[in-house]
A = this chain, B = another copy of it.
Protein backbone atom coordinates (compact mmCIF):
# COMPACT_ATOMS: atom_id res chain seq x y z
CA UNK A 1 0.00 0.00 0.00
CA UNK A 2 1.33 3.41 -0.96
CA UNK A 3 -0.25 6.80 -0.45
CA UNK A 4 -0.53 7.44 -4.15
CA UNK A 5 -2.61 4.29 -4.57
CA UNK A 6 -5.79 6.39 -4.67
CA UNK A 7 -8.89 4.53 -3.72
CA UNK A 8 -7.11 2.21 -1.31
CA UNK A 9 -6.03 4.82 1.16
CA UNK A 10 -7.49 8.20 2.06
CA UNK A 11 -5.69 11.06 0.28
CA UNK A 12 -6.27 13.45 3.12
CA UNK A 13 -4.98 12.48 6.52
CA UNK A 14 -6.93 13.85 9.46
CA UNK A 15 -4.27 15.06 11.88
CA UNK A 16 -4.91 15.17 15.64
CA UNK A 17 -6.34 18.28 17.26
CA UNK A 18 -3.91 20.56 19.11
CA UNK A 19 -5.61 19.77 22.41
CA UNK A 20 -5.04 16.05 21.87
CA UNK A 21 -1.38 16.66 21.14
CA UNK A 22 -1.08 18.85 24.25
CA UNK A 23 -2.69 16.21 26.44
CA UNK A 24 -0.21 13.59 25.28
CA UNK A 25 2.74 15.96 25.41
CA UNK A 26 1.83 16.86 28.99
CA UNK A 27 2.34 13.21 29.97
CA UNK A 28 5.69 13.17 28.20
CA UNK A 29 6.92 16.45 29.73
CA UNK A 30 5.86 15.21 33.17
CA UNK A 31 8.67 12.64 33.08
CA UNK A 32 11.69 14.70 34.22
CA UNK A 33 14.23 13.12 31.90
CA UNK A 34 17.07 15.54 32.67
CA UNK A 35 19.99 13.45 31.43
CA UNK A 36 22.44 15.31 33.66
CA UNK A 37 20.60 14.62 36.89
CA UNK A 38 17.77 12.14 36.53
CA UNK A 39 17.93 8.48 37.59
CA UNK A 40 18.28 5.75 35.01
CA UNK A 41 14.74 4.70 35.88
CA UNK A 42 13.37 8.12 35.01
CA UNK A 43 15.27 8.17 31.74
CA UNK A 44 13.95 4.72 30.89
CA UNK A 45 10.42 5.83 31.75
CA UNK A 46 10.66 8.66 29.23
CA UNK A 47 12.05 6.33 26.60
CA UNK A 48 9.26 3.82 27.24
CA UNK A 49 6.62 6.53 27.01
CA UNK A 50 7.60 7.70 23.54
CA UNK A 51 8.26 4.11 22.40
CA UNK A 52 4.72 3.30 23.49
CA UNK A 53 3.40 5.99 21.17
CA UNK A 54 5.40 4.42 18.34
CA UNK A 55 4.11 0.93 18.97
CA UNK A 56 2.43 0.83 15.55
CA UNK A 57 5.95 0.87 14.05
CA UNK A 58 7.19 -1.82 16.40
CA UNK A 59 9.19 0.54 18.58
CA UNK A 60 11.47 -0.87 21.25
CA UNK A 61 14.21 0.19 23.65
CA UNK A 62 17.73 -0.86 22.79
CA UNK A 63 20.48 -0.75 25.37
CA UNK A 64 23.63 1.34 25.32
CA UNK A 65 26.26 1.87 28.00
CA UNK A 66 24.09 4.77 29.15
CA UNK A 67 20.44 5.54 28.57
CA UNK A 68 18.63 3.30 26.08
CA UNK A 69 17.76 4.45 22.57
CA UNK A 70 14.25 4.20 21.18
CA UNK A 71 14.22 2.44 17.83
CA UNK A 72 11.48 1.69 15.30
CA UNK A 73 11.44 0.58 11.66
CA UNK A 74 8.74 0.45 9.07
CA UNK A 75 10.09 -0.93 5.83
CA UNK A 76 6.79 -1.61 4.09
CA UNK A 77 7.52 0.50 1.00
CA UNK A 78 9.94 -1.59 -1.07
CA UNK A 79 11.53 0.47 -3.80
CA UNK A 80 10.87 3.70 -1.94
CA UNK A 81 13.68 5.58 -0.19
CA UNK A 82 14.32 5.24 3.54
CA UNK A 83 14.50 8.10 6.01
CA UNK A 84 15.84 7.88 9.53
CA UNK A 85 14.02 10.22 11.88
CA UNK A 86 16.26 11.40 14.69
CA UNK A 87 15.40 13.16 17.95
CA UNK A 88 16.00 12.86 21.67
CA UNK A 89 13.92 12.20 24.75
CA UNK A 90 16.27 13.75 27.29
CA UNK A 91 16.03 17.36 28.43
CA UNK A 92 18.24 20.02 29.98
CA UNK A 93 18.38 20.65 33.74
CA UNK A 94 15.69 23.04 34.90
CA UNK A 95 17.98 25.82 36.13
CA UNK A 96 16.59 28.01 38.91
CA UNK A 97 13.02 26.95 39.63
CA UNK A 98 12.00 30.43 40.76
CA UNK A 99 12.66 31.71 37.25
CA UNK A 100 10.01 29.44 35.71
CA UNK A 101 6.49 30.84 35.18
CA UNK A 102 5.07 27.39 36.03
CA UNK A 103 6.55 24.11 37.29
CA UNK A 104 8.97 22.90 34.60
CA UNK A 105 7.56 19.39 34.41
CA UNK A 106 3.92 20.46 34.23
CA UNK A 107 3.04 21.42 30.68
CA UNK A 108 1.22 24.72 31.13
CA UNK A 109 -0.66 26.56 28.39
CA UNK A 110 -0.61 30.34 28.72
CA UNK A 111 -1.89 32.47 25.85
CA UNK A 112 -0.51 30.96 22.66
CA UNK A 113 2.33 28.89 24.05
CA UNK A 114 2.87 25.82 26.24
CA UNK A 115 5.56 26.03 28.92
CA UNK A 116 7.53 23.03 30.08
CA UNK A 117 11.02 21.55 30.07
CA UNK A 118 11.36 19.76 26.77
CA UNK A 119 8.33 21.44 25.16
CA UNK A 120 10.64 22.97 22.59
CA UNK A 121 13.80 20.86 22.94
CA UNK A 122 13.00 18.18 21.96
CA UNK A 123 9.92 16.39 23.31
CA UNK A 124 7.45 18.70 21.57
CA UNK A 125 9.01 18.59 18.08
CA UNK A 126 9.51 14.81 18.27
CA UNK A 127 5.97 14.19 19.44
CA UNK A 128 4.61 16.16 16.45
CA UNK A 129 6.24 13.69 14.06
CA UNK A 130 5.07 10.71 16.09
CA UNK A 131 1.48 11.99 16.22
CA UNK A 132 1.51 12.68 12.46
CA UNK A 133 2.95 9.23 11.67
CA UNK A 134 0.38 7.56 13.92
CA UNK A 135 -2.52 9.36 12.23
CA UNK A 136 -1.20 8.59 8.77
CA UNK A 137 -0.59 4.96 9.59
CA UNK A 138 -3.94 4.48 11.26
CA UNK A 139 -5.88 6.04 8.40
CA UNK A 140 -3.88 4.66 5.47
CA UNK A 141 -2.35 1.53 6.92
CA UNK A 142 0.97 2.61 5.42
CA UNK A 143 3.57 5.36 5.22
CA UNK A 144 4.69 6.94 1.94
CA UNK A 145 8.27 5.71 2.31
CA UNK A 146 10.38 3.56 4.58
CA UNK A 147 10.85 5.06 8.01
CA UNK A 148 13.33 4.32 10.74
CA UNK A 149 13.24 6.13 14.07
CA UNK A 150 16.12 6.66 16.47
CA UNK A 151 15.57 8.71 19.61
CA UNK A 152 18.46 8.98 22.02
CA UNK A 153 18.47 9.88 25.71
CA UNK A 154 21.81 11.65 26.03
CA UNK A 155 21.74 14.50 23.52
CA UNK A 156 21.90 17.17 26.20
CA UNK A 157 25.06 15.68 27.65
CA UNK A 158 26.86 15.42 24.33
CA UNK A 159 25.63 11.97 23.21
CA UNK A 160 28.48 9.98 24.79
CA UNK A 161 27.01 6.60 23.86
CA UNK A 162 25.41 7.37 20.51
CA UNK A 163 28.59 6.82 18.48
CA UNK A 164 29.05 3.33 19.90
CA UNK A 165 25.43 2.45 19.27
CA UNK A 166 25.26 3.82 15.73
CA UNK A 167 28.57 2.30 14.68
CA UNK A 168 27.56 -1.13 15.93
CA UNK A 169 24.16 -0.93 14.22
CA UNK A 170 25.22 0.42 10.84
CA UNK A 171 23.16 -2.07 8.84
CA UNK A 172 20.03 -1.62 10.90
CA UNK A 173 20.26 2.13 10.46
CA UNK A 174 20.87 2.11 6.70
CA UNK A 175 19.00 5.04 5.15
CA UNK A 176 19.05 7.59 2.38
CA UNK A 177 18.53 10.63 4.54
CA UNK A 178 18.46 11.45 8.20
CA UNK A 179 15.75 13.93 9.15
CA UNK A 180 16.36 15.54 12.49
CA UNK A 181 13.39 16.62 14.57
CA UNK A 182 15.90 18.41 16.80
CA UNK A 183 17.17 21.90 16.11
CA UNK A 184 15.17 25.05 15.66
CA UNK A 185 13.88 27.36 13.01
CA UNK A 186 15.70 30.55 13.56
CA UNK A 187 12.68 32.84 13.70
CA UNK A 188 8.98 32.28 14.33
CA UNK A 189 7.85 34.53 11.48
CA UNK A 190 10.04 33.24 8.62
CA UNK A 191 10.16 29.63 7.47
CA UNK A 192 13.77 28.48 7.37
CA UNK A 193 15.93 25.46 6.79
CA UNK A 194 19.12 25.01 8.65
CA UNK A 195 22.05 24.08 6.45
CA UNK A 196 24.64 23.89 9.21
CA UNK A 197 25.07 23.41 12.90
CA UNK A 198 27.94 24.37 15.14
CA UNK A 199 30.22 21.91 16.87
CA UNK A 200 30.70 21.80 20.61
CA UNK A 201 33.39 21.06 23.10
CA UNK A 202 33.08 21.81 26.82
CA UNK A 203 35.49 21.79 29.71
CA UNK A 204 35.82 22.69 33.34
CA UNK A 205 38.68 24.93 34.41
CA UNK A 206 39.49 24.39 38.06
CA UNK A 207 41.83 26.48 40.16
CA UNK A 208 42.93 25.31 43.59
CA UNK A 209 45.00 26.98 46.27
CA UNK A 210 45.30 26.03 49.93
CA UNK A 211 44.03 22.73 51.30
CA UNK A 212 40.86 24.34 52.65
CA UNK A 213 39.00 27.62 52.84
CA UNK A 214 40.84 30.13 55.02
CA UNK A 215 39.71 33.07 57.15
CA UNK A 216 39.95 36.12 54.91
CA UNK A 217 41.41 38.20 57.73
CA UNK A 218 43.81 35.77 59.32
CA UNK A 219 45.28 34.75 55.97
CA UNK A 220 44.31 37.69 53.79
CA UNK A 221 47.01 39.11 51.55
CA UNK A 222 49.42 36.23 52.03
CA UNK A 223 48.33 33.57 49.54
CA UNK A 224 46.93 33.49 46.05
CA UNK A 225 43.13 33.51 46.01
CA UNK A 226 41.80 30.93 43.50
CA UNK A 227 38.86 33.20 42.62
CA UNK A 228 41.24 36.01 41.73
CA UNK A 229 43.31 33.59 39.66
CA UNK A 230 40.24 32.20 37.91
CA UNK A 231 38.99 35.71 37.18
CA UNK A 232 42.34 36.60 35.60
CA UNK A 233 42.24 33.43 33.51
CA UNK A 234 38.65 33.97 32.37
CA UNK A 235 39.27 37.64 31.63
CA UNK A 236 42.17 36.62 29.38
CA UNK A 237 40.04 34.37 27.16
CA UNK A 238 38.71 37.23 25.06
CA UNK A 239 40.47 40.24 23.57
CA UNK A 240 39.41 43.85 23.69
CA UNK A 241 37.80 43.38 20.26
CA UNK A 242 35.54 40.58 21.52
CA UNK A 243 37.44 37.84 19.69
CA UNK A 244 38.65 34.72 21.46
CA UNK A 245 42.22 35.36 22.59
CA UNK A 246 43.25 31.72 22.97
CA UNK A 247 46.10 31.05 20.52
CA UNK A 248 45.06 28.38 18.02
CA UNK A 249 41.35 28.66 18.75
CA UNK A 250 40.49 29.85 15.23
CA UNK A 251 42.53 27.18 13.43
CA UNK A 252 40.24 25.64 10.79
CA UNK A 253 37.92 28.63 10.55
CA UNK A 254 37.84 29.94 6.99
CA UNK A 255 37.31 33.66 6.45
CA UNK A 256 33.78 34.50 5.40
CA UNK A 257 33.47 34.94 1.65
CA UNK A 258 32.15 38.25 0.32
CA UNK A 259 29.25 36.23 -1.14
CA UNK A 260 28.28 34.78 2.24
CA UNK A 261 28.56 38.19 3.86
CA UNK A 262 26.24 39.59 1.20
CA UNK A 263 23.72 36.75 1.72
CA UNK A 264 23.64 37.38 5.43
CA UNK A 265 23.45 41.12 5.01
CA UNK A 266 20.29 40.57 2.94
CA UNK A 267 18.50 38.89 5.85
CA UNK A 268 16.43 41.42 7.76
CA UNK A 269 17.75 41.61 11.30
CA UNK A 270 17.08 44.25 13.91
CA UNK A 271 19.72 44.40 16.62
CA UNK A 272 17.61 46.58 18.89
CA UNK A 273 14.61 44.26 18.61
CA UNK A 274 16.83 41.24 19.28
CA UNK A 275 18.34 42.83 22.39
CA UNK A 276 14.95 43.96 23.63
CA UNK A 277 13.42 40.53 23.18
CA UNK A 278 16.00 38.83 25.36
CA UNK A 279 16.12 41.74 27.78
CA UNK A 280 19.80 42.50 27.23
CA UNK A 281 21.05 46.05 27.77
CA UNK A 282 22.87 45.84 24.43
CA UNK A 283 24.66 43.54 22.05
CA UNK A 284 28.27 42.57 22.15
CA UNK A 285 30.71 40.34 20.32
CA UNK A 286 33.47 40.31 17.77
CA UNK A 287 34.17 43.77 16.41
CA UNK A 288 33.56 44.39 12.71
CA UNK A 289 30.92 41.68 12.27
CA UNK A 290 27.15 41.85 12.24
CA UNK A 291 25.15 40.02 14.86
CA UNK A 292 23.99 37.42 12.35
CA UNK A 293 27.53 36.90 11.08
CA UNK A 294 28.70 36.26 14.64
CA UNK A 295 25.82 33.93 15.27
CA UNK A 296 25.97 31.87 12.07
CA UNK A 297 29.55 31.97 10.91
CA UNK A 298 31.84 32.45 13.89
CA UNK A 299 32.90 30.11 16.66
CA UNK A 300 32.36 31.20 20.24
CA UNK A 301 33.78 30.54 23.67
CA UNK A 302 31.33 31.16 26.50
CA UNK A 303 31.84 30.70 30.21
CA UNK A 304 28.57 29.04 31.17
CA UNK A 305 29.01 29.11 34.88
CA UNK A 306 31.40 29.91 37.64
CA UNK A 307 31.51 28.79 41.25
CA UNK A 308 33.79 29.04 44.24
CA UNK A 309 33.70 29.99 47.91
CA UNK A 310 30.54 31.65 49.14
CA UNK A 311 29.03 34.67 50.75
CA UNK A 312 31.19 34.56 53.84
CA UNK A 313 34.60 35.92 54.70
CA UNK A 314 36.97 33.27 53.46
CA UNK A 315 39.72 32.90 50.95
CA UNK A 316 38.20 29.96 49.07
CA UNK A 317 40.50 27.10 48.27
CA UNK A 318 38.99 26.33 44.88
CA UNK A 319 37.10 27.98 42.09
CA UNK A 320 35.88 26.51 38.84
CA UNK A 321 34.32 27.58 35.58
CA UNK A 322 32.42 25.61 32.96
CA UNK A 323 33.26 26.66 29.43
CA UNK A 324 31.64 25.65 26.17
CA UNK A 325 32.89 26.42 22.69
CA UNK A 326 30.66 26.38 19.62
CA UNK A 327 32.70 25.44 16.59
CA UNK A 328 32.43 26.11 12.87
CA UNK A 329 34.09 24.95 9.66
CA UNK A 330 37.01 22.60 10.17
CA UNK A 331 37.76 23.38 13.82
CA UNK A 332 38.92 20.25 15.60
CA UNK A 333 37.30 19.97 19.06
CA UNK A 334 40.35 18.30 20.59
CA UNK A 335 42.65 20.92 19.15
CA UNK A 336 40.43 23.64 20.62
CA UNK A 337 40.49 21.93 24.00
CA UNK A 338 44.27 21.64 23.89
CA UNK A 339 44.53 25.31 22.93
CA UNK A 340 42.42 26.29 25.93
CA UNK A 341 44.46 24.07 28.23
CA UNK A 342 47.69 25.59 26.99
CA UNK A 343 46.37 29.11 27.38
CA UNK A 344 45.05 28.49 30.89
CA UNK A 345 48.32 26.95 32.01
CA UNK A 346 50.27 29.85 30.52
CA UNK A 347 47.98 32.43 32.11
CA UNK A 348 47.61 30.95 35.61
CA UNK A 349 49.30 33.11 38.21
CA UNK A 350 51.82 31.69 40.67
CA UNK A 351 50.53 30.18 43.87
CA UNK A 352 47.65 28.14 42.44
CA UNK A 353 47.19 24.88 40.58
CA UNK A 354 45.03 24.74 37.46
CA UNK A 355 43.40 21.94 35.54
CA UNK A 356 41.31 21.82 32.37
CA UNK A 357 39.14 18.75 31.92
CA UNK A 358 36.83 17.95 29.05
CA UNK A 359 33.18 17.52 29.99
CA UNK A 360 30.76 15.59 27.80
CA UNK A 361 31.30 14.70 24.17
CA UNK A 362 33.17 16.67 21.53
CA UNK A 363 31.39 17.35 18.26
CA UNK A 364 32.73 19.00 15.12
CA UNK A 365 30.65 21.43 13.09
CA UNK A 366 28.33 20.10 10.38
CA UNK A 367 27.02 21.37 7.02
CA UNK A 368 24.60 20.03 4.39
CA UNK A 369 25.36 21.36 0.90
CA UNK A 370 22.99 24.06 -0.36
CA UNK A 371 22.16 21.96 -3.45
CA UNK A 372 21.23 18.75 -1.64
CA UNK A 373 17.82 17.55 -2.98
CA UNK A 374 16.42 17.09 0.50
CA UNK A 375 16.65 20.84 1.00
CA UNK A 376 14.42 21.40 -2.02
CA UNK A 377 11.87 18.85 -0.80
CA UNK A 378 11.88 20.42 2.61
CA UNK A 379 11.45 23.92 1.21
CA UNK A 380 8.50 22.67 -0.81
CA UNK A 381 6.96 21.11 2.31
CA UNK A 382 7.37 24.37 4.21
CA UNK A 383 5.75 26.33 1.40
CA UNK A 384 2.63 24.15 1.65
CA UNK A 385 2.28 25.30 5.27
CA UNK A 386 3.57 28.85 4.86
CA UNK A 387 2.43 29.75 1.34
CA UNK A 388 4.05 32.72 -0.32
CA UNK A 389 6.94 32.96 2.10
CA UNK A 390 10.60 32.64 1.18
CA UNK A 391 12.36 29.74 2.84
CA UNK A 392 15.59 31.02 4.33
CA UNK A 393 18.79 28.98 4.50
CA UNK A 394 19.89 29.56 8.07
CA UNK A 395 22.40 28.11 10.50
CA UNK A 396 21.71 26.33 13.75
CA UNK A 397 24.12 28.02 16.09
CA UNK A 398 23.45 25.13 18.46
CA UNK A 399 24.97 21.69 18.21
CA UNK A 400 23.42 18.45 16.98
CA UNK A 401 26.04 15.82 17.71
CA UNK A 402 24.43 13.06 15.67
CA UNK A 403 24.89 14.63 12.24
CA UNK A 404 28.56 13.93 11.62
CA UNK A 405 28.17 10.49 13.07
CA UNK A 406 25.27 9.57 10.80
CA UNK A 407 27.17 10.70 7.74
CA UNK A 408 30.18 8.65 8.80
CA UNK A 409 28.17 5.46 9.37
CA UNK A 410 25.32 5.62 6.83
CA UNK A 411 26.69 8.04 4.24
CA UNK A 412 23.48 10.01 4.56
CA UNK A 413 23.28 13.73 5.15
CA UNK A 414 21.00 15.13 7.81
CA UNK A 415 18.12 17.46 7.08
CA UNK A 416 17.06 19.57 10.04
CA UNK A 417 13.30 19.82 10.12
CA UNK A 418 12.17 21.35 13.33
CA UNK A 419 9.23 23.33 14.56
CA UNK A 420 10.94 24.73 17.59
CA UNK A 421 12.38 28.24 17.52
CA UNK A 422 15.53 29.80 18.82
CA UNK A 423 13.69 32.10 21.21
CA UNK A 424 11.86 29.41 23.14
CA UNK A 425 14.18 29.32 26.17
CA UNK A 426 15.60 25.92 25.36
CA UNK A 427 18.34 25.25 27.97
CA UNK A 428 16.96 28.01 30.23
CA UNK A 429 14.10 28.40 32.67
CA UNK A 430 10.75 29.10 30.99
CA UNK A 431 11.13 26.82 27.94
CA UNK A 432 8.03 26.90 25.77
CA UNK A 433 6.55 25.73 22.45
CA UNK A 434 4.26 27.87 20.28
CA UNK A 435 0.82 26.24 19.97
CA UNK A 436 0.45 27.12 16.28
CA UNK A 437 3.51 25.01 15.51
CA UNK A 438 1.59 21.91 16.51
CA UNK A 439 -0.75 21.74 13.45
CA UNK A 440 1.84 23.42 11.22
CA UNK A 441 4.55 20.98 12.19
CA UNK A 442 2.40 17.92 11.65
CA UNK A 443 1.25 19.13 8.22
CA UNK A 444 4.77 20.04 7.13
CA UNK A 445 6.16 16.67 8.23
CA UNK A 446 3.47 14.90 6.26
CA UNK A 447 4.25 17.00 3.17
CA UNK A 448 7.96 16.37 3.60
CA UNK A 449 7.64 12.59 3.75
CA UNK A 450 5.29 12.58 0.77
CA UNK A 451 7.61 14.89 -1.17
CA UNK A 452 10.67 12.77 -0.42
CA UNK A 453 8.74 9.67 -1.54
CA UNK A 454 7.50 11.02 -4.81
CA UNK A 455 7.58 14.07 -7.04
CA UNK A 456 10.31 16.38 -8.36
CA UNK A 457 12.40 16.21 -5.18
CA UNK A 458 12.05 12.50 -4.62
CA UNK A 459 14.93 11.17 -2.58
CA UNK A 460 17.33 8.92 -4.46
CA UNK A 461 17.88 5.52 -2.95
CA UNK A 462 21.12 3.81 -2.00
CA UNK A 463 23.27 3.53 -5.13
CA UNK A 464 21.32 6.32 -6.79
CA UNK A 465 22.45 8.79 -4.16
CA UNK A 466 26.08 9.02 -5.13
CA UNK A 467 28.77 11.59 -4.77
CA UNK A 468 27.43 14.99 -5.54
Contacts and interface: CB of A to CB of B under 8 A. Distances in A.
Interface string A268-301: 0000001100111111111000010011001010
A447 B457 CA distance: 99
Contacts of A217: 198, 200, 326, 396-399
Contact of A427 (B198, B215, B324, B398): B215
Contact count band on A = 35 or more
Q: Which of A95, A204, A302 has the most CB of B within 10 A?
A: A302
Contacts of A304: 216, 227, 309-316
Contacts of A93: 310, 312
Interface in A396-419: 396-399
Nearest to A99: B212
A80 interface: no
Interface stretch (A20-28, A128-136, A229-237): A229-237
Interface stretch (A50-58, A143-151, A174-182, A351-359): A351-359
Given A314-B95, A359-B311, A303 B221 contact: no
A209 interface: yes
Interface in A127-184: 156, 184
Nearest to A232: B235
Given A312-B92, A315-B304, A279 B427 contact: no
A385 interface: no
A323 B361 CA distance: 36
Contacts of A237: 228
A429 interface: yes
A464 to B, nearest CB: 34
Given A216-B324, A306-B307, A284 B231 contact: no
Interface in A186-220: 198, 200, 202, 204, 209-220
Contact of A302 (B232, B302, B305, B315): B315
Copies in the complex: 2
Contacts of A232: 231, 235
B351 A278 contact: no
Interface string A424-437: 01111110000000
Contact of A274 (B99, B222, B397): B222
A351 B214 CA distance: 35
Given A212-B279, A284-B351, 4 more contacts: A93-B310, A216-B326, A219-B422, A232-B235
Interface of A: 36, 92-93, 95, 99, 156, 184, 198, 200, 202, 204, 209-225, 227-228, 230-238, 274-275, 278-286, 291, 294-295, 298, 300, 302-317, 319, 321-322, 324, 326, 349-353, 359, 396-399, 422, 425-430
